[in-house]
Amino acid sequence: MEKIELKLIKVSDRLYYLPHYEKNDWCTVALVIGDNHVMMLDSGASRRHVEMFMQQLEENSLPKPDLCFLTHWHWDHTYGLAHIDGVTSFATKATNEELRKMQAWGWTDEEMKKRINELTTKCNQLQAAVDNYEKRIAELEAHMPKEGEWIDEQRGRWIYAKCNLCGKVQDVRSNYCPNCGARMEE
């Protein structure tokens, strides 16, 4: 198992945090020491994450939390909760609703692969939609008239140009500037 060395950072006598660990995508976990309670902000991503945090508290002679507030439902902020003894946890209604959904999930390898495949399909569909949108924007931009260009359409001429006399940008089907009346030349 890879050795991870994270050190608890002191912000004040009442606020400490274990920084985000990017390689494992572990969230920042904080400790707030109040007069009557000690609160952990987010529960971490795993048993190992929690153990590392608790070890840092012990090494720094800090109290263990009796409360845990979950900032949101993402795995790296909540999966450690099952490994913290003696805490009362709190979260927003929205976070609780998402966690209830996750409780119903199966956690076998097969079920997790199925969820990953479903998410991969959704991500691919979303990427295709974004690609299609970007392609469509490029097509529209390629067909947009540039300042001073004349566009022939079935219903006549369309001017999209800046009037040389008054300076207004025009988007009209006329050879005359609707602002100052000047003739717009090809």
User: Into how many domains does the chain fold?
Assistant: 2
Half-sphere exposure of 166 (CA within 13 A, CB side): 13
Model confidence at 161: pLDDT above 80? no
Same domain for 90 and 159: no
What's the CA gap between 149 and 81, in Å, rounded?
A: 64
For residue 97, the domain's CATH number is 3.60.15.10
Task: Please count the other Cβ atoms lying within 10 Å of the Cβ belonging to residue 75.
Answer: 12
What's the CA gap between 180 and 169, in Å, rounded?
A: 12
| Closest of 86, 49, 79, 81 to residue 64, by C-alpha | 86
In a domain, 61, yes or no: yes
Name the amino acid, one letter, at 3. K
In a domain, 120, yes or no: no
Model confidence at 64: pLDDT above 80? yes
- Per-residue model confidence as pLDDT tens digits over 2-59: 788 889 999 999 999 999 998 888 999 999 999 999 999 999 999 999 999 999 999 9
H/E element, 3: none
Same domain for 34 and 97: yes
Same domain for 144 and 99: no
Model confidence at 135: pLDDT above 50? yes
**Domain containing residue 180:** 140-186
Q: Which residues contact 160 (CB under 8 A, 6 or more apart)?
A: 144, 145, 146, 147, 149, 151, 169, 170, 171
Same domain for 79 and 32: yes
Model confidence at 128: pLDDT above 60? yes
- Per-residue model confidence as pLDDT tens digits over 78-106: 999 999 999 999 999 999 999 999 888 88
Instruction: Using the 3D structure, point to which of 48, 82, 105 is the last residue of a domain.
Output: 105
Alpha-carbon distances, residue 128 vs 116, 118, 133, 141 (angstroms): 18, 15, 8, 20
